[in-house]
């Protein structure tokens, strides 16, 4: 086989066989297929797309490029969860302990934030002492013992994805549905749980800007999960405004704790209960997602979910006292209000702009490998649909310095749209794709 022929075949719109795709991926990882040929192939996929069979073959070729996790007997009941990422998206911090508190094991491998979106590992590391670097044995042992674990992905898992993503990143081929779907699903299949719930975001703060595009991606991922024999569902949820009120690592941990206490913002609690309801159903613990959500609401009210989060923090070396006393989380020295420029109704809060403001404060990173500041960020005080008076505080900036805070305050003020009348309410959940 020659890479040249496979590039040409895809360029001309023909479908590749599973064997051809596996040969290309193996060759790329093994150094036989150079970056320039793989880049050309990725661009051909970008323009020509892939059939569901090709996408599944690409996913499996990527899974086989590295090690897979052996969850042992836990695999049968475990439910994995993935979010396509957004601003203020702390759902994993809430969902992992919440779902585990209802008896469904949750193995969660997470990533770090990049650009305007945050990452679960950065958020958890805001908790003093919390370690996200668990060996495979420690990860599996912890799930067996307390029902959940959240850790960074080892480089041995799906190495083809890291290499392909780095190439896509510099060749304008990231936003291709088969490439995104295979990238995400290869990591989920390598973990080995028998069920997967996907939260596919759409809107200004998300990868997929429109609901139609999010649906196409969700369908592609559910098809891969189904073909792999995993119970898979995808919830399409809105990411036009930040989720909840807090954007920034420690600030989001505090909001997750409040949510696990049953005192969180409505949009965040509602989304977590809906996603968690699906996870309980996929894990065979409830007959329907609605029944699952009701069970989880009871776990929030009883304090079980909060205690599970405390157990998770303790198990991973963090200071569990943050649960009772969130003041122990890192806090920024400067707090600045963002006043409303005029009276009216908050018609919109641009999630991407808020995410970029938080990133520039230091809560996120522009480039891979940069350190983040756990304490800084933005807290929204007036959500979409709320009536405000001129000079009333729309948000609070948590900054390292007055200068950084003032710059962020200007960005955050510009992210708020103030109108004369309230916008029509749109539901957070836009649809569900099921296996
Ligand atoms: N997240 C991933 O893991 N891969 C992509 O390609 C895009 C988002």
The arithmetic mean of pLDDT across residues 101-126, rounded, is 91
Please indicate, yes or no, if residue 94 is contained in any of the structural domains.
Answer: yes
Please indicate, yes or no, if residue 141 is contained in any of the structural domains.
Answer: yes
Rounded to 5 degrees, what angle do the CA atoms 194, 196, 200 make?
170
- The 10 Å Cβ neighbour count of residue 357 is 30
What's residue 426's pLDDT?
82
Whole domain around residue 390: which residue ranges?
331-419
Q: Kindly state whether residues 266 and 351 are assigned to the same domain.
A: no
Spot the catalytic one: 83, 84, 182, 183.
Answer: 183
Q: Which of 112, 260, 104 is nearest to 197 (CA)?
A: 104
The answer to whether 345 and 420 have CB atoms below 8 angstroms apart is yes
Q: State how far the Cα of 157 lies from the Cα of 204, in Å rounded to an integer.
A: 31
152, 180, 185: residue to mutate for ligand 1 pocket, most atoms within 8 A of CB: 180
| DSSP at 321 | G
What's residue 204's pLDDT?
87
Backbone angles phi, psi at 231, to 5 degrees: -70, 120
Q: Kindly state whether residues 284 and 407 are assigned to the same domain.
A: no
Residue 144 has pLDDT above 80, yes or no: yes
Task: Pull the structure tokens for residue 323.
Answer: 């649960």
Q: Kindly state whether residues 336 and 309 are assigned to the same domain.
A: no
Total domain count for the chain? 3
Q: Kindly state whether residues 248 and 369 are assigned to the same domain.
A: no
What's residue 295's pLDDT?
98
Entry pTM: 0.94
With a CB cutoff of 8 Å and minimum separation 6, the contacts of 396 are 335, 336, 337, 338, 378, 379, 381
Helices (H), 341-396: 351-361
Q: State how far the Cα of 395 lies from the Cα of 341, in Å rounded to an integer.
A: 12
Please indicate, yes or no, if residue 391 is contained in any of the structural domains.
Answer: yes
Give the number of the atom of ligand 1 that is nearest the alpha carbon of residue 184.
3
Q: Kindly state whether residues 193 and 302 are assigned to the same domain.
A: yes
161 is catalytic: yes
Mean pLDDT for the chain?
Answer: 95
The answer to whether 215 and 196 have CB atoms below 8 angstroms apart is no
Spot the catalytic one: 10, 80, 81, 82.
Answer: 82
With a CB cutoff of 8 Å and minimum separation 6, the contacts of 47 are none
What's residue 312's pLDDT?
98
Report how far apart, in Å, the C-alpha atoms of 299 and of each of 68, 262, 267, 309, 350 are.
32, 9, 18, 12, 33
Q: How far is the CA of 178 from the centre of ligand 1 (A)?
A: 11
Please indicate, yes or no, if residue 313 is contained in any of the structural domains.
Answer: yes
User: What pLDDT, in 10s, does the model give residues 77-113?
Assistant: 999 999 988 899 999 999 999 999 999 999 999 988 8
The answer to whether 215 and 431 have CB atoms below 8 angstroms apart is yes
User: What pLDDT, in 10s, does the model give residues 35-81?
Assistant: 999 999 999 999 999 999 999 999 999 999 999 999 999 999 999 99
CATH number at residue 359: 3.90.1170.30
| Torsion sign, CA atoms 53, 49, 81, 273 | negative
pLDDT classification of 118: cutoffs 50, 70, 90: confident
What's residue 155's pLDDT?
87
Please indicate, yes or no, if residue 165 is contained in any of the structural domains.
Answer: yes
Q: Kindly state whether residues 270 and 367 are assigned to the same domain.
A: no
The answer to whether 26 and 61 have CB atoms below 8 angstroms apart is yes
User: What pLDDT, in 10s, does the model give residues 22-33?
Assistant: 999 999 999 999
To the nearest 10°, the Cα dihedral for 339, 342, 347, 353?
Answer: -40
Backbone angles phi, psi at 319, to 5 degrees: -85, 105
With a CB cutoff of 8 Å and minimum separation 6, the contacts of 98 are 260, 272, 276, 296, 299, 300, 305, 308
Please indicate, yes or no, if residue 56 is contained in any of the structural domains.
Answer: no
- Residue closest by Cα to atom 1 of ligand 1: 184
Spot the catalytic one: 161, 240, 267, 350.
Answer: 161
Residue 435 has pLDDT above 80, yes or no: no
Q: Which of 312, 262, 272, 263 is nearest to 292 (CA)?
A: 272
Q: Kindly state whether residues 249 and 110 are assigned to the same domain.
A: yes
User: What pLDDT, in 10s, does the model give residues 225-271?
Assistant: 999 999 999 999 999 999 999 999 999 999 999 999 999 999 999 99
User: What pLDDT, in 10s, does the model give residues 270-318?
Assistant: 999 999 999 999 999 999 999 999 999 999 999 999 999 999 999 999 9
160, 174, 214, 234: residue to mutate for ligand 1 pocket, most atoms within 8 A of CB: 174
Q: Kindly state whether residues 335 and 308 are assigned to the same domain.
A: no
- What is the percent of the chain where pLDDT is above 70? 100
Please indicate, yes or no, if residue 92 is contained in any of the structural domains.
Answer: yes
List all residues whose CB is within 6 A of at least one atom of ligand 1: 165, 179-180, 183-184
Q: Kindly state whether residues 275 and 396 are assigned to the same domain.
A: no
Lowest mean pLDDT among 14-18, 170-174, 289-293, 401-405: 170-174
Q: Kindly state whether residues 145 and 270 are assigned to the same domain.
A: yes
Please indicate, yes or no, if residue 433 is contained in any of the structural domains.
Answer: no
pLDDT classification of 116: cutoffs 50, 70, 90: confident
240 is catalytic: no
77 is catalytic: no
């Amino acid at each position: 086989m020659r890479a040249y022929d496979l590039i040409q075949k895809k360029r001309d719109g023909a479908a590749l066989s599973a064997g051809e795709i596996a040969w290309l991926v193996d060759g790329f990882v093994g150094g036989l297929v150079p970056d320039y040929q793989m880049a050309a192939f990725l661009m051909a996929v970008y323009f020509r797309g892939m059939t569901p069979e090709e996408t599944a073959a690409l996913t499996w070729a990527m899974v086989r490029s590295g090690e897979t996790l052996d969850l042992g007997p836990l695999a049968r009941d475990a439910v994995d969860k993935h979010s396509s990422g957004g601003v203020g998206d702390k759902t994993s911090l809430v969902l992992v302990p919440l779902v585990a508190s209802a008896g469904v094991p949750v193995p969660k491998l997470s990533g770090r934030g990049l650009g305007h979106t945050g990452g679960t590992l950065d958020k958890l590391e805001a908790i003093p002492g919390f370690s996200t670097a668990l060996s495979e044995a420690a990860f599996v042992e912890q799930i067996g013992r307390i029902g959940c674990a959240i850790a960074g992905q080892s480089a041995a898992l799906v190495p083809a994805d890291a290499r392909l993503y780095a190439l896509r990143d510099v060749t304008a081929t990231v936003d291709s549905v088969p490439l995104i779907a295979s990238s995400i699903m290869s990591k989920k299949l390598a973990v080995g749980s028998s069920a997967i719930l996907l939260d596919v975001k759409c809107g200004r703060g998300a990868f997929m800007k429109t609901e139609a595009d999010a649906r196409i991606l969700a369908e592609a991922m559910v098809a891969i999960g189904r073909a792999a024999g995993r119970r898979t569902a995808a919830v399409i949820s809105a990411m036009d405004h930040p989720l909840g009120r807090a954007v920034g690592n420690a600030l989001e941990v505090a909001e997750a704790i409040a949510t696990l206490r049953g005192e969180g913002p409505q949009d965040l609690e509602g989304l977590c209960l809906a996603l968690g309801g699906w996870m309980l159903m996929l894990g065979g613990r409830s007959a329907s997602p609605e029944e699952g959500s009701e069970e989880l609401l009871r776990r929030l009210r009883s304090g079980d979910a909060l205690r599970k989060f405390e157990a998770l923090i303790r198990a991973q070396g963090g200071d569990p006292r943050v649960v009772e006393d969130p003041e122990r989380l890192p806090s920024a020295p400067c707090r600045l209000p963002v006043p409303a420029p005029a009276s009216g109704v908050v018609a919109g809060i641009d999630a991407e702009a808020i995410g970029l403001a938080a990133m520039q404060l230091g809560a996120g990173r522009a480039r891979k490998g940069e350190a983040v500041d756990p304490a800084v960020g933005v807290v929204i005080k007036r959500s979409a649909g709320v009536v405000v008076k001129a000079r009333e505080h729309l948000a609070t900036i948590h900054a390292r310095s007055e200068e950084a805070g003032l710059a962020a305050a200007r960005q955050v003020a510009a992210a708020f749209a103030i109108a004369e009348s309230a916008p029509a309410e749109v539901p957070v959940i836009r649809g569900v794709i099921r296996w």
